[in-house]
A and B are shown apart, each in its own frame.
Chain A
Amino acid sequence: MNLLALPVLIPLLAGSLLLLLPNRQLRSLLAFFAAVLVLVCELIILQNVLSGKVLVLQMANWPAPWGISLVADILTGIMLTLSGLTGLLTVLFASSSLQHQAHWGKTKGLNALRERYGFQALLQFLIMGVNMSFLTADLFNLFVAFEVMLIASYGLLLLGNELPQLREGFKYVIVNLIASAIFVVAAGLVYGLVGTLNMADIAFKIAEYTAVQGPDARIRLLAMLLALVFATKSALFPLGFWLPNSYPVPAAAASAFFAAMLTKVGVYSLTRTFTLMFPEETFIKTLLLVLAGLSMLVGALGMITQSRWRHAFAFANVSSVGYLLMGIFTGANAGLAAALYYLIHSVLVIFCLFLIAALAERIAGLKFTLSGHLNTYPYLALAYFIAALALAGLPPTSGFIAKYALIASLLNAGGGLHTGLAIAAVLSGFLLLYAAMKLWRSFFWGEAKVVHKVALPAGMKLITGLSFGLMVLLAVFAGPVYQVSNRAAMQLATNQAYLEAVLVRIDGPRIGDEPKPLEQDGLTEEVN
């Protein structure tokens, strides 16, 4: 299935071309076409995996445990589609928002510079890295995909050279480099211990080993290292300190994509690690479950303390990662399905909130302390109000469905810990609601002290409207989407389809066989 390589190759080509193009319109056009093409490919992939197949591409036709495989099951299909949708909207939003100058203060003239120095190209490379990390079925290739993604994100974060960017960018780079170093060590040790880097093969060999030998401390150590790395990337509570300050500093389009997708890559990797490779590590899973509950609360509390748009939503992002991981590590299929629905919801809502923040920052600067914008910007107020309800989890939004399913699955799982977490989830929902309404009161509500109207670029408004529409569609089509996430969860729970698709080939050897001796034809004689 060569289709699987396209979501990686198209952004790579487009990004490289974008660096060469001299003209802003051409760049916007090319970036747009690339994003549309990628989205089409990803929709075709999604359609294919929904028919029950697991798509596999063995790179260069090397059989599975030796070559690098790209694999797509339903979870991958969902993630790819989300990345394609938010990627397309981000590209469009960037073309619009970077074209028009920000009105206030120092950021004047900055956006044009950002566009001039490769914003769109970096965005394509970022999308490439994100797609590659969703598709790859090889641990070391996952590391490479993370690095592609992170290096592009360093570029986007630092583009503009503002003081906050330099300061937070430095922390961001350092934290991620340390995590990457741990990731390399973990990958190397996995290879040393298990003898393979293919995730399916690792899963198979570890299952075989533990079935005979019982649990092994070395395997737990490896699982712990990987959990540490991915928890750092997904900003889980004690490791997520870098996120709330660093995500608000780049250009608005970049922060929206960061918040929507980058932490979800970490969440995706954690899901793969603990459903596929290390399904038996219950201790680490419980640990992650507790930390997820804590980060849910910390994110919500953090959001209350903030007085700047994107800082507040960055904390909301931390909280949503907590909800997500809580569902994933509940240990029940229902929890996983709820978490996957929550994942779709969270990507769309956080994305929409960051776009709203971008518009609001155009109106009144980085803070939301000036009241009375309800009359001047009624549609923005409406969009924010619905998105805030979705964030907090009130009906009739998708947030309610997602959180209801999550909490119900926690209560069904029973046990003191799960009940406590369910209570924490409800509490955190109320805290989020309070924070969101505090923002509402201080920006939209109240008496308008100044008559003030800024002409917002039509493109930015349109894209925000589109992302808002996606969020509404998710609530309207909650039934079908929930069924898809249910099927994805079933597929993750057994892994049978995944393992069979990756490791068995028509003409290749089966896993566990000794590799066939290489045929010594012609070549040997030629050398001799």
Chain B
Amino acid sequence: MSQDLTGTAIASNAVATTRQICCELRIAWGRTHDTWPTDWATQATNETARLRDVSWDRRFNLATDLSLGQAPVAQMRLTLDNRDQRFSPFNSAGPLYSSLSADATTAGGSTVRYSKMWQTPVRLRMGFVDSIAGAQYLTMFTGLIDQPGETYGLGGDTVTLNVLDRGAALLDDKSSTRIDQNILPHEYLAKLLITYAGINTSGMDYGLAPIPFAWLDDEALWKEIQDVAGADSGYAFFDELGAFVFKAATWWATAPHSTASQATFTTARFQNLAPETKHADIATGAIIEYQPRSHGGEQIIWRASSTIVLPPGTTTIQAKFSYPVTLILDPLQPMDWLPISGGGIDVSGQIELTFENKQAQRCDLRFVNNSNVTAYVPNMRLRGLVLVGGPQEQITIDVDTPLVPTKQHRVYNNPYMQTWQQANIAAELAAHRMRYPRLTYRITGPALPWLQLGDMVTIDAAAPVTADRTAIVTGLAFSWQPDQPWLMTVDAVDYAGLFEHAGNYHIVGTDNYGAKVAFV
């Protein structure tokens, strides 16, 4: 994706003999993820002068098959000068006091002062001072404070802020939904993000295979988002600007920034270069499990565990279904429910029942007892049209010419992997991606701030193993202290062998029929 450098001299200043670093740290005190700033210049405070140390990193999980879809939340660590206790939430004389903490009153009348720094938006921009244009920035990190820490004493009064990217807001967000059918991954991701996190999305890749049935039942959103992307053999993450990114399985095979080098590392451009061959990750094939689902007809979806007691007035209970449900059928009397008095008299004429908060695996039953006596509903049940899971299926793909004794990689437990198509794409990718001993690189040196995950870089060093190689960036780590060099560590995976027919895939609308080959 390589950040846009149009109109800047960042690329040349980044490799200049003398680099003058510029930095801007803004924190939107008093705001949260739910009140995300739309204008950082006016809605956030410039705290750059207080910055003592900063480092951040973002990366994909490099284990085994490059763990399709697994992109841990990126982190940034800030150390700020706090000698005047500006960032101390309990410093009532501090200028940020009302933004850093607040009062609450307990039921018993006690006052509790609490820190409210959690999920405060943070943005870091860095760049270089150009001799003509002045300071030119790129956004390096946008996220939310996860964990603040204060230190006082001989070491100096500082506050450290551990900041996570915007995925942090979704880590523990448990949501439930109805069932979406035959929905494309990017459509479902967009729906989850706007509905449950208020995050708009645009520019996402299209997925290759629709998900037949998708729903949530108290699931953590970020985990689900990773699984949705993984089911399409793609990746989902938040980028440096705080924008949500979904990249499909074709990403590194065809995207311009993944097929054309975005930076070249020569001996003059790095401090250390450490190639490593990961023999442990080599495999002769892949086993991908998937769980087909289909409509399962009418079933009893819920039975009350005990007699429902309905005093006069409104009573609401939650029904958790035995199956995912596409339609709750109207309960029939007396088979499904029969309100009676304690003496067994039918009082159904006095009881209203409505369904509220209907989700795939739960709903609220709201009873209104319009009489002045308590009613009872024994052995109540609900019927509905349900989804059922078929037997677990799997696809096994072995490479034609294995390089080691049989060793198959297995992917399982992704609830969104429901079809042969999804599994076949994952199996083809994983099997071929893991058939060769994987060559990876760790490069340390001066920061090239435009690099992003998925970018192709060229490594052209003197040693034979590192001469004229191309690789895909899978991890980026930066660190800086004022008046110190701005350093970077790049993790990259060698491009050779990632795709069997790299450079020869047929692009719709670009290539002719009869030319080039099909992707997985």
A, B co-complexed: no
